[in-house]
Amino acid sequence: MTAQTILPANTLSSGFDVANSCRFDGSTAFMTKSPSSNGSTSLGTISVWIKKSARTQYQTIFQSIDDGENYFRIRFRDDNRIDIQSDISNSTVLLKRTVRVFDDPSAWYHIVVKLKLDEGNNVDKVKLFVNGVQETSFTDVTDLTSTSQQFVGAGSDYAIFVGKNGAADDVYFGGYMAEFVYLDGVAADPTSFGEFDEDSPTIWKPIDVSGLTYGTNGFYLDFEDSSNLGNDKNGGTDLSETGLAAVDQCTDTCTNNFCTLTNATKLTDATISEGNCNVTYGTASTRRAVFSTIAVFNGKWYCETKVTATSQTSVEMNLGISNTYRPEAIGNALVSNNGFTVSLFPANGSLYIGTTRDEQNLGNLAVNDIVGMAIDMDNGTLQFYKNGSALGSANDITTGDSDDGELYPGFTVANSCSSGGQTFTAAHNFGNPTHSLSSAVSDSNGFGSFEYAPPSGFYAICTKNLAQYG
């Protein structure tokens, strides 16, 4: 058996390219359809590529449901294990809950559930695969004994949900989905959807699925139509959308993984949302930080942040880069004992460079302002921009303890935010904006979408650019 590798950074130069994904916010977004006729009651396959953002809540990936007592579902638990469950008349007839946890907010996972209920061995009636390898270790197991179940065919009495539990309004999926396939009447192996790379045999990558047989109620979601994200590429009935918009079409995919923020090390007073791109700071009493999922070591990189809301009168909210991947260690000097930070101080536009405050009076940040950062790791500089115009001169990022030269785009919040219950909300754009753009400019390699053009030679932080320029 080939060992599996998750995809925190798929840098493969060849193979089938997945252009788009769909971003689910974890609280309102989902898709659904109600089949008009019965499909197969014994054979089916669900395949989807997933990048999680939510980590400590139940999240439904797929559900076929009649009511709260009769359903089939695939979900992440709040402990980040995957479980597959079916209840008939409120009695569990199928349960497989993994021993392994899937908790990496930077990784793309490929999940395949194969349903072959006419299999003689009950253990083999329902199989789960992650990144091409079958999961065989489960904490809880109830093997299905029946050879036929209506939930498989998602017939006329059943509704299909993607990204939501059809019987509970609080169980939504948070993160990104790509290449969502449901085969009705076909029990397919993972090799119908992906393959191990010839040159990097531990890396599981997608293949073209357009030629598969989808069956009566099957569908294929490639998310390439931003005006109709529920479009069935197979030509069947489209899925209806709730809580989704054109901006939720993303180029962050299993073949080009984009940087986001990580909730693995966020401060308790921060709320991260919209696929880990938006952050809201509340009334924190100590200075803490939220960092990105991808550090940069060399090359030239560009990202933007839009101020979406603030009640600050003296914002001690700092936007910049840091080499300290320990938010709990950041003190009043913006750095830990062995850290280094270059940050913009939004209240008056001053800068912190390491532990030194540089009073340049670059101007306050207001709602709708967009701050650009051009991070030049080759020459050791960081240039801030406000609404497309440079803020002062480029800042030296070669001093201080560099932790082997890795720097993370990140945010810090100061203890003065507790004064008067002040808050600050920002939308981070590493190339997949959560807000509408008037210009939608990509980098010179054709990746990312920004309000303002990245400086010449600077690129969006994504794995295809990292493989070429980093």
For residue 347, the model assigns a pLDDT of 65
pLDDT class of 418 with cuts at 50, 70, 90 = very low
Summarize the confidence of residues 253-276 as an average pLDDT.
82
- Going by the DSSP 8-state scheme, the letter that residue 435 receives in this structure is S
Summarize the confidence of residues 190-210 as an average pLDDT.
93
pLDDT at 107 over 50: yes
Q: Which residue has the tokens 């002040």?
A: 422
pLDDT at 284 over 80: no
Number of Cβ within a 10 Å radius of residue 285 = 11
Q: Which helix (H) or strand (E) holds 468?
A: helix 463-469
pLDDT at 391 over 70: yes
Which 3 state secondary structure label does DSSP give 465? helix
Higher model confidence: residue 296 or residue 97?
Answer: 97
Q: CATH number of the domain at 21-250, please?
A: 2.60.120.200
Specify whether the CB–CB gap between 188 and 158 falls below 8 A: no
Superfamily of domain 270-469: SPRY domain (2.60.120.920)
Higher model confidence: residue 156 or residue 379?
Answer: 379
Dihedral over alpha carbons 169, 170, 172, 175 (to 10 degrees): 140
For residue 184, the model assigns a pLDDT of 94
For residue 333, the model assigns a pLDDT of 38
Higher model confidence: residue 132 or residue 13?
Answer: 132
Specify whether the CB–CB gap between 255 and 206 falls below 8 A: yes
For residue 394, the model assigns a pLDDT of 86
pLDDT at 32 over 80: yes
For 327, counting Cβ atoms within 10 Å of its Cβ (0-12 exposed, 13-18 middle, 19+ buried), the class is: buried
For residue 82, the model assigns a pLDDT of 97
- pLDDT tens-digit profile of 311-351? 665 555 678 887 754 444 443 334 443 456 677 766 666 77
% of the chain with per-residue pLDDT over 90: 60
Report d(CA 91, CA 93) in Å as an integer: 6
Q: Which residue has the tokens 């509408």?
A: 436
Query: For the whole model, what pTM was predicted?
Result: 0.92
Give the best-scoring range by mean pLDDT among 170-174, 227-231, 375-379. Answer: 227-231
For residue 287, the model assigns a pLDDT of 57
Name 161's bridge partners: 32, 63
- pLDDT tens-digit profile of 50-88? 999 987 789 999 999 998 899 999 999 999 999 999 999
For residue 4, the model assigns a pLDDT of 38
For residue 309, the model assigns a pLDDT of 79
For residue 338, the model assigns a pLDDT of 45
For residue 291, the model assigns a pLDDT of 80
Specify whether the CB–CB gap between 230 and 31 falls below 8 A: yes
For residue 283, the model assigns a pLDDT of 61
Q: Please report the DSSP string for 156-202 in residue order.
A: TT-EEEESB-TT-TT-B-EEEEEEEEEEES----GGGTEEE-SSSTT
For CATH 2.60.120.920, the residue range(s) in the chain are 270-469
- pLDDT tens-digit profile of 285-306? 555 667 888 988 899 999 999 9
For CATH 2.60.120.200, the residue range(s) in the chain are 21-250
Summarize the confidence of residues 84-99 as an average pLDDT.
95
What's the length of the chain?
A: 470
Report d(CA 9, CA 461) in Å as an integer: 11
For residue 346, the model assigns a pLDDT of 67
What is the pLDDT of the chain when averaged over all its residues?
85
pLDDT at 118 over 70: yes
For 211, counting Cβ atoms within 10 Å of its Cβ (0-12 exposed, 13-18 middle, 19+ buried), the class is: exposed
Q: Which residue has the tokens 């830990």?
A: 336
Three-state secondary structure readout of the chain: CCCCECECCCCCCCCCCCCCEEEEECCCCEEEECCCCCCCCCEEEEEEEEEECCCCCCEEEEEEEEECCEEEEEEECCCCCEEEEEEECCEEEEEEEECCCCCCCCCEEEEEEEEECCCCCHHHCEEEEECCEECCCEEEEECCCCCCCHHHHCCCCCEEEECECCCCCCCECEEEEEEEEEEECCCCCHHHCEEECCCCCCEEEECCCCCCCCCCCCEEECCCCCCCCCCCCCCCCCCEEECCCHHHEECCECCECECCECCCCCCCCEEEECCCCEEEECCCCCCEEEEECCCECCCEEEEEEEEEEECCCCCCEEEEEECCCCHHHCCCCCCCCCCCEEEEECCCCEEEECCEEECCCCCCCCCCCEEEEEEECCCCEEEEEECCEECCCCEECCCCCCCCCCEEEEEEECHHHHHHHCCEEEEEECCCCCCCCCCCECCCCCCCCECCCCCCCCECCEHHHHHHHC
pLDDT class of 354 with cuts at 50, 70, 90 = low
